[in-house]
Amino acid sequence: MQGLYLLPEQWYDDHGVHAWLNTVARRIDVRSQRVVLGTGEALPYDRLILAMGSSASHPSIDGLTGRAASCCVQAGDAMRLRAYVQQRGCRNAVVAGGGLLGLEAAYSLHLLGLQVTVLERGKRLLSRQIDPRCSEPVEHHFAKAGIEVRKRAETSHVVGSPAVSGVVLKDRQHLPCEVFLAATGIRPNVELARDAGIPVGRGVLVDDRMRTRVRWVYAAGDVAEHDSQVLGLWPIAVEQAEAAAVNALGGDMALTAEIPATILKGVGLELFSIGRIE
């Protein structure tokens, strides 16, 4: 778990950053320029940067509420799933989604000793990150590891309550499993901004300088929608955060062309891609 922390705790003290842990931002009052906390206190601001991130996108699949039927995006989700697999002696898993998170999760379940099937509704893996020629060795790598990839496959519903016993595909095939994991993208956490009257689309709308449409309020990372896109990529989030910080402090930094960079990791295959894929 230590490897998941971005900075050591001492860094915040050394740089004069006050981190309010276990504290909810309940409301933003843009007229009085205050953030109201769950504790009842209010923090005044001169400049405000929104970095609420995103949550797992929950697909409309019937039965996606039982034990071991879930979406995985946070460390706690992975820890609960790891414990469940061991406690129940699970042997089969189905992962819906052949993107980065889906493939990394599928490989992790494979390392736990499960027989894993990946459902990809498209015609190839990682179609948004790599070209068709590159998809072939990726699929071969997973097949060699014993992970089955089913293309043009979508889930109709999950079977079993309270514990999962299988999934039914839209072509009516039934796959037995004790674990079903949906990895079908992200949903920006825009509620706080929307309730404050800050314009949102899929994410909080920002310009090239990460400014929202409310004066002195900026946004960056997975919560931000820039140039009609929410990319959900770490390198892009870092760039946006730097621009938001520079501009909030009175500088002038514009992001006019973000180049998506993708890293597939933890699957026994080192894969990096950048720029246009077609």
Average pLDDT rounded to a whole number, residues 143-152:
96
Residue 3, SS3? helix
Query: What is the average pLDDT across 90-104?
Result: 93
Domain covering 56-186, topology: FAD/NAD(P)-binding domain (3.50.50)
For 167-184, write each residue's pLDDT tens digit: 999 999 999 999 999 888
Please state the rounded mean pLDDT for residues 110-124: 95
As a whole-number percent, the residues of the chain with pLDDT over 70 amount to 97
The mean per-residue pLDDT over the stretch 98-126 comes to: 94
Judged against a pLDDT cut of 90, whether residue 260 lies above it is answered with no
Across the range 94-118, mean pLDDT stands at: 94
Residues listed for the chain: 278
Average pLDDT, rounded, for the chain:
91
pLDDT for 65: 67
Question: How far, in whole angstroms, is CA 146 from its chain's centroid?
Answer: 26
* Band (67; pLDDT cuts 50, 70, 90): low
Tell me which residue has tokens 């960056």. Answer: 220
pLDDT tens-digit series, residues 28-45: 999 999 999 999 999 999
> Quick one: pLDDT band at residue 72, thresholds 50, 70, 90?
low
Write down the pLDDT at residue 39: 95
**Residue 275 has what pLDDT?**
82
In terms of DSSP bridges, do strands 54-56 and 25-29 run parallel, antiparallel, or are they unpaired? Answer: unpaired
pLDDT of residue 6: 84
**How large a percentage of the chain has pLDDT more than 90?**
70
Distance CA 177, CA 155 (A): 13
Mean pLDDT of the 214-224 span: 97
Q: Closest by alpha carbon to 1, among 74, 106, 88, 102?
A: 74
Q: What is the pLDDT of residues 191-212, one digit of tens each?
A: 999 999 999 999 999 999 999 9
Structure tokens at 152: 């043009």
Q: What is the mean pLDDT of residues 133-153?
A: 95
Angle CA 8–10–12, to nearest 5: 90
Q: Average pLDDT, stretch 268-278?
A: 87
> Helix H segments across the chain?
9-14, 75-88, 100-111, 132-144, 191-195, 234-248
First to last CA, the chain: 37
Sketch the domain layout of the chain as residue ranges. Answer: 1-45, 56-186
State mean pLDDT over 56-85.
76
Cβ proximity of 203 and 188 under 8 Å: yes
**Are 132 and 173 spatial neighbours (Cβ–Cβ below 8 Å)?**
no
106-115: average pLDDT: 95
For the ranges 60-64, 211-215, 268-272, the lowest mean pLDDT is seen at: 60-64
